Structure formats: C-alpha cells, structure tokens
Structure 1
Amino acid sequence: MITPSPLTTVTRSNSGFPEVEFGRSGDGYLVARVGDTAFAMLPGRNARHYLATGWRINRPIAEWKRSDFYGHSGGLADEAAFRTKVAENAEHQREKRALGRREIGFNANTPWGPSQGATVYAEGIVCHSTAGHGGFHLSAERNRKVNPVLRAPGGWYEEDEAWAIVAITFPHLFTGYERRCAERTIKDSWPDAWEAIFGIVLEPGESREKDRRAFEKEHAGNWIVVSAISSDQQAGFVEVVATPGGRRGAGTEERRFLVPSDEYRIGRFGFVVDETRHPVYSGPSSFIGWQGRTSP
C-alpha cells in the first residue's frame, strides 16, 4: 500500500473503488490518481492548461514527473476544473465496475480486422478491439431496437462516433459520463436524427454539424482558406490559398492572399478572407506547388 505524503490528500468515497488521491508531482504540478489512471494539470499554450493522463505510475505521487504523462484530454480553465474532471472520472470508474462488463477472448472478424479481445456489455452487445480500431456489434435482435434513422444494417458501430448510437439505445448499460458523451456525439454528428427522435430543435451552438452547415451557407460566396503557410517573402504575414466557400476539387478557382500573422486564427470551420483587408497576392510563393505559377 502506498502511504500518502504530507502534500497528498485522499478523498474517500462511500461508493467504494476507486479512491481519489490529489497531490503535487516532484516538479510541482497538480496531479491526481484514480485507480490505475493518473492525471496532471499541465501548462499549454497562451498561458492555458490542459488535462494530461498517464497509466499505472507505480510510484508515490511526490515522485511523479511530467514525462510520466502522455495523453491529452482537453483544456482546463483552472484548478477547480481539474478537480471536477478527476471526480467525474472516479464516478465513471465506480459506475463501470458496478455494471459488471466481462472481458473475453473472441475469435471473430470485424469491419476493422480480426478481433483481439472483446467486452460483453450484455447478451448480444459486444465491443471488439482490433489492432487499429474497434467498435460494437449488436445481434440481430438487439439491432432491431436501434431507431431506424440511426440503425446500421449489419449491426456494426465503430468506436469513434457510432458507439454513441448503442449508448443512447441501451443507456442502462453505460455510465453517466458515457451517456453524456454519447448525447454530445449524436447532437454533433447526427443532429437531424436527434431532433427526429427526441422532438427537440437544436439551437446554434448545440450541434457542430448544424453549426458547420450554417457557416457554409453564410459564407458560400466568401473566400475560405484551404491551405496556409508562414510567408518567406513577406515577414509577419501568412500566405494562404483560398477557394469560394472553401470548396475543393478539380476546376475549383483558387486565389492567394496575405493575412497578418497575428490575425490568422482558423476558427471552428475555417478562416474567412476579408477582401477589404487581406490583399490578393501574386508574388513569389512559399508554397512549393505554387512556385513558378503566375496566377494569383
């Protein structure tokens, strides 16, 4: 058993495993341990911080180092946000343990390659891992319970986004954290399905896909950057290649512009060229593919 140092605080839970242990690493960072998972609040760009993760650091917290952490799990506003994320993970682990999922060996072919292991969530609901990807497979009976607007004919649901379809169909088999992630994923990726199933119209800011459509509609006639590079010829500027509406493909008109470096921020769906401020550029290019071309 690891004895906490004087700089370490342990939060005990009436729910059992796992306890949450907070402290300071050997190099002074705020860190935490939840079971086998380690967390750190590390400095990022522009005086911001991010949530870093590690796995099975078998040393006292006071001996941890920044190099022990390799995962990046999003930005953090402050210490309170860090503690909230850690507590959320602890609750997720407790709930997952209570669900009683079973790890098994499974000789099966999946759309992502041979299964290298599987987790049984319930009869007819199995999550496969492969060398490169993974996802759920539902039996025919289970798959019939998926809403038709989201149902995959073969019952396979990949792990990046489509897993959320399984989670909203069988919410009792998932933790609260997983259900919240699934809701966010469905809203972002399949907003039309979400609105049809739940009868709720998603407002601006509630769905990435709906926001993307609105952006593309609003800026269909604007020049949207598709490539950018720091200019070797014009110090302090970014040389960009833009197309109408950000479209790509053969025959699409392209133009180059110069944008001040301190103004170039891509945004969620692309950088919109302001033709009144960002001049068309036809000079020597920093893009290898444009060198020798005379058109803008």
Structure 2
Amino acid sequence: MTHFSRTPKPSHSPWGQIDYADQIVPGVWSVGTPSHGGFLLSPERQTAMPAVARRAGAAYEEDAEWSLVALVFADEFSAISCAERTMADIARDHVRNYYPDEYAHLTGDTPTAETSHVLRRREICSAAIGQFVVTSAFGDWADWVPDGKVGIIAREAIGITREGHYEYGDVERRGLVDAARYDNRAIVSLWDDLNPALCDEGAAGPLFRKTATLTIQG
C-alpha cells in the first residue's frame, strides 16, 4: 500500500468558506461550509486517483463523489467506522448504485439494474425514448388549471445521460388530466398514457422552449 503524507489544512474550498476541516487520512481533508462540503485531496492523492474516478480540482462533494475516494483508498477507509459499517463498505455500495461505470472499472465487478439505482433508471427511461414525458405538473391552484384537474407539461425524450436522466428536445406540450388519473400515474409519466386534453395557447399561454432535466427516483 502506498503511504501518503499529511498535508496542511486547506484554506479554501469550491463550496465556500471552510467552517471545519478534518484530515481523516493523510492527504484527504473532509471539509464543511455553510452551504456544502466534501473531500479535498492533496496533489499526491489526486495523482493517485484513477482517471475514471478523478474529479476536477481535487474536490469530491459530500453527497456522492466522496465515495469514489473512499473506494479507491478502501484499505485506509476500512479502518474508519460509520455506524455499524466502515466507510469503505458504504462507499462500495454508493459507487455501485450511482457510478456503475466507474464501479465496474475500479472493481472488475459489473453491476446490474437490480444492484444499481442508475442502471435501473437507465433501463426504465430507455423505454420512453421518442415519446413525450411529463416533466412538471400543476395543481388547480394554478390559474390555467380547472378544479379537479392537473396541468402537465411534457417534452420529447431524445436520449439518456450517464446518470440516467432524460435529454429532451425543444418542443413542449401542455395538457389537462383528471387529478385522480394523474395520482395513479406510472413512475415514468407518458403523455400518451395519461391522454390529456391538449391546451391551446389561449388557455395555457405560449409553449415554451427551454432546457430541463427530469430525475427518476431510484
């Protein structure tokens, strides 16, 4: 195992002014700010990160990217307990779920849709490519939605990102569907499945052209 040197406390982070910092293993600082936090790596550690897992600026945010560091340096993170598990164990599960491509490269073990949230999202979403997918919904509190209805906006799914989110075309549709029917929608809500009444521009305002991303919960 490579031995890394301890480094001075970092003075800044990409997430803002550092409130606290803890060097949990040599060259890996866990930092927090008023808004966010994560791991900051020394140049030595950053160089040791495989290219597939390396992130720009040697910064690995606390929601997800930290797990890449803990998996790469699993020997050291196995000595750090978190509840009843080690950080390395938690990181392994996290990377498999949310970074399946990196996980396969780092471990030689290929995840499946049953073992990875992102692969499951990709599988679910791939069936809707070429169809109009509901991206947002409005209750009857909205001025263009009658009582007992849900107003929906849908866009054509033209692709899927590595994270399992849709990429959309430019044209949107607006429609109205019974609230009860909307409440019983599928995980991926398709325009054709809901069969809404199409809103014209006079009823719902002009159709929009903008960029958006839909997250399907795993």
Q: Are the equivalent residues in 2 in contact too, given 1:121–1:173 (CA < 8 A)?
A: no
Aligned to 1:235: 147
Is 1:157 aligned with 2:68?
Answer: no
Aligned to 1:209: 118
| Equivalent of residue 281 in structure 1, options 193, 198, 201 | 198
Which structure 1 segments of 5+ residues have no match? Answer: 1-104
Aligned to 1:172: 78
Tell me the percent identity.
26
Once the two structures are superposed, what CA deviation does each residue of 1:110-134 show, in whole Å capped at 9, x if it has no partner?
1222322211212212111122211
> How many Å separate the matches in 1 of 2:207 and 2:49?
56
Measured after TM superposition, the shift of residue 214 of structure 1 is 2.3
Moved over 6 A (4+): none
Measured after TM superposition, the shift of residue 225 of structure 1 is 0.6
Aligned letter for 2:80? Answer: F
Measured after TM superposition, the shift of residue 229 of structure 1 is 0.9
Equivalences for residues 3-22 of structure 1 within 5 A: none
| Equivalent of residue 129 in structure 2, options 213, 216, 220 | 220
Q: Are the equivalent residues in 1 in contact too, given 2:149–2:176 (CA < 8 A)?
A: yes
> How many Å separate the matches in 2 of 1:169 and 1:197?
7
Q: State the number of aligned residues.
A: 182
Q: Are the equivalent residues in 1 in contact too, given 2:99–2:118 (CA < 8 A)?
A: yes
Aligned to 1:199: 108
Q: Are the equivalent residues in 2 in contact too, given 1:108–1:115 (CA < 8 A)?
A: yes
Q: Are the equivalent residues in 2 in contact too, given 1:106–1:116 (CA < 8 A)?
A: no
Q: Are the equivalent residues in 2 in contact too, given 1:282–1:294 (CA < 8 A)?
A: no
Equivalences for residues 1-296 of structure 1 within 5 A: 106=9, 108-170=11-73, 171-175=77-81, 176=85, 178-231=87-140, 233-245=145-157, 247-248=167-168, 252-265=170-183, 270-275=188-193, 278-282=195-199, 285=203, 290-291=204-205, 293=206
Measured after TM superposition, the shift of residue 161 of structure 1 is 1.0
In structure 2, do the counterparts of structure 1 residues 106 and 116 end up closer, same or farther at CA, with 3 Å as the change threshold?
farther
> How many Å separate the matches in 1 of 2:52 and 2:207?
50
Q: Are the equivalent residues in 2 in contact too, given 1:124–1:139 (CA < 8 A)?
A: yes
> How many Å separate the matches in 1 of 2:116 and 2:135?
23
Measured after TM superposition, the shift of residue 173 of structure 1 is 4.1
In structure 2, do the counterparts of structure 1 residues 259 and 132 end up closer, same or farther at CA, with 3 Å as the change threshold?
same
Structure with greater contact order relative to length (CA < 8 Å, sep ≥ 6): 2
In structure 2, do the counterparts of structure 1 residues 107 and 145 end up closer, same or farther at CA, with 3 Å as the change threshold?
closer
Q: Are the equivalent residues in 2 in contact too, given 1:107–1:114 (CA < 8 A)?
A: no
> How many Å separate the matches in 1 of 2:198 and 2:65?
43
Aligned letter for 1:174? Answer: I
Once the two structures are superposed, what CA deviation does each residue of 1:158-191 show, in whole Å capped at 9, x if it has no partner?
1111111121123324322533432232123321
TM-score, L = length of structure 2: 0.69
In structure 2, do the counterparts of structure 1 residues 126 and 189 end up closer, same or farther at CA, with 3 Å as the change threshold?
same
Measured after TM superposition, the shift of residue 230 of structure 1 is 1.9
